Structure 1
Amino acid sequence: MLKVHFLNVGKGNCTVIKFPSGNLAVIDIDNSRIDDDNDVLQDPIQFLNTEYPNQSIFRFVLTHPDMDHMSGLDELHSSRTITNFWDTDNDKEIDTDKLHLGGYKTEDWEKYQELRVKDENPKVLHIYQDGEAQSYWKEDGVKVLGPSKSMLKKANETEEYNHCSYVIKIEHEGIKIILGGDATKEAWKDILEYHGKDELQANVFLAPHHGSPDNIEKDVFAHISPQYVIISDHRGHSYDYAYYNDLATEQVYSTKHFGNITLEVSDAVKKIYPEKNG
């Protein structure tokens, strides 16, 4: 069975995936808001300890180098073995003295800088749109839709690092899932031009950049035509509900209203269910 958990982490993103192969993947992590008094959020480390105790992480994917996608990385690495670390060859720099102003920890940025140059434990992989799929990607039904090397170049030139966000497609038993990262409109156009519209169709779509209108590329998303749209969002922040409600043929689930959202796919079972009723 394929199990995909979209965690209610607040402002950031964290998706945990258990593949039928047994491989465990974590796509982004954020625990920077778990102590907020006005919300009940999921600590990703606690979730892993409860649901998948003592299991190593075969694949950690940092979709792009924003702190709300890597907060908790230091703790994750100290508590789990990470075999592969997917990253882009971005050249982002930050002022670590100001991280605390956003509720972030210097240790997580420093851990990212440490891990992204390693050859093993974890092994760092720079994987792009035109890369040839390796056997273990195929085994897990994973396809990299983006970024392209041209979008990485644009990200480094403009210092808009959402341009080089990973966009990942997963397929199992005929069910297709697209994880949109924080990909920009330009990145989505690049993906459509390279892959074509048929490759974009999906049943479940994790909307990019927490549902922000700034990242909606309607001509591209029309080809996705999902049954379900997932929005990783936090209270006090508005996303484009009207648009995504029209896009989804079945349901829009936001983590701020529905909590953790789980998708299960096997030859006999295909269901999606939220932690709360919204």
Structure 2
Amino acid sequence: MTIIKSFSVGDGDLFYIRHNSDNFTIIDCNLTGDRDAEIIVELIEQSKLKGISRFISTHPDQDHFEGIEKLDAYLPITNFYVVNNKAVKAPKTLSFNHYCDLRDGTKAYYIFKGCSRRWMNLGDAERDASGISVLWPNTENYYFQEALRKCNSGESFNNVSAVIRYKLADGASVMWLGDLETEFMENIVNDITLEKTTIVFAAHHGRSSGKIPDSWLRKLDPQIIVIGEAPSRHLHYYTGYKTITQNSAGDITMDLVDNKVHFYVSNSKYSHGKLDDEGLSKFPNYIGSITVETEYTL
């Protein structure tokens, strides 16, 4: 059993994976308000029995590392997974300075397409692998190199985002795309390995600027697309796909058990008519389940 949670933290991202192995992963951080203490307490509680923890930074945008100094103070970051960059920002914030300290320090592990690391995707006698793989960036790719140049000069940061995939053995798979933009995804479609994936978190919080192109969707064939938090007028709603919109759902908790995913949300008034109702109550506000498909449906 694996638990994946997407917190409702405004126009930003914060996820955790409580793996079915001795691993715990946090992806991005946006601690900006009244919920900070509550979220940090939950992260501490969910990770306390895990032997290895990691923080994955998809890219150096403020809404993906805001409050990282608070998180590090209460739940020390010992493994900082990050795309190698030299991003600059003006003015520098406390959170950006802390991000840079982690990025440039001894706790950093620079991620890239196909990288291998003990307990991320290599198990041993001590503990199993986490099930995480890094699909992007290819640091030799022209489009990535141009995105990195813009990042390092402070122009833009979205397209240095890592693509992260989690796979539960014989169960669901989940993908994070950071803030990749549509044109960039189209440009790299032939240089990234994409396969059928159960749940995809839409790029750039679900904004139209990060619409996942059809060339990707045909390969991913997702059963659920999670549309993140952003003003509704900026969102792309992926007609023809099952979606969960975090603006309406609030926190989303996914319970991955065998070949099932059970969904719970923090908004008690949110409902979803296209999921299977298995009558569960493990967490509050159950909205339905899916059975993982292994064959393409497109």
Q: Which moved more, 1:154-163 or 1:13-22?
A: 154-163
Distance change (3 Å), C-alpha of 1:167 and 1:50: same
2:190 to 169, 189, 193: 193
Distance change (3 Å), C-alpha of 1:124 and 1:19: same
Counterpart residue number, 1:8? 8
1:227 to 215, 223, 229: 223
Counterpart residue number, 2:146? 154
Counterpart residue number, 1:28? 28
How far apart are the structure 2 equivalents of 1:145 and 1:91?
A: 21
Distance change (3 Å), C-alpha of 1:47 and 1:245: farther
Among the aligned pairs, what percent are the same residue?
25
Residue type at the aligned position of 1:239: L
Residue type at the aligned position of 2:265: P
Gaps of 5+ in 1: 98-105
Alpha-carbon deviations, 1:215-258, whole Å to 9, x = none? 222221232121111122045653112xx232x2xx31122200
Gaps of 5+ in 2: 122-128, 271-298
Instruction: Give the structure with the larger helix fraction.
Output: 1
Counterpart residue number, 1:112? 99
How far apart are the structure 1 equivalents of 2:202 and 2:90?
A: 29
Counterpart residue number, 2:239? 245
1:129 to 89, 108, 113: 113
Distance change (3 Å), C-alpha of 1:174 and 1:47: same
Aligned length: 254
Q: Which moved more, 1:166-175 or 1:54-63?
A: 54-63
Distance change (3 Å), C-alpha of 1:130 and 1:140: closer
1:274 to 241, 265, 269: 265
SS of aligned partner of 1:193:
helix
How far apart are the structure 2 equivalents of 1:92 and 1:43?
A: 30
How far apart are the structure 2 equivalents of 1:57 and 1:236?
A: 38
2:207–2:230: 8 Å Cα contact kept in structure 1? no
Structure 1 residue 76: Cα displacement: 0.5
> TM-score, with normalisation over the residues of structure 2?
0.77
Measured on the aligned residues, the alpha-carbon RMSD in Å equals 2.4
1:8–1:41: 8 Å Cα contact kept in structure 2? no
Which structure carries more relative contact order (alpha carbon 8 Å, separation 6+)? 1
> TM-score, with normalisation over the residues of structure 1?
0.82
Residue type at the aligned position of 2:162: Y
Residue type at the aligned position of 1:64: H
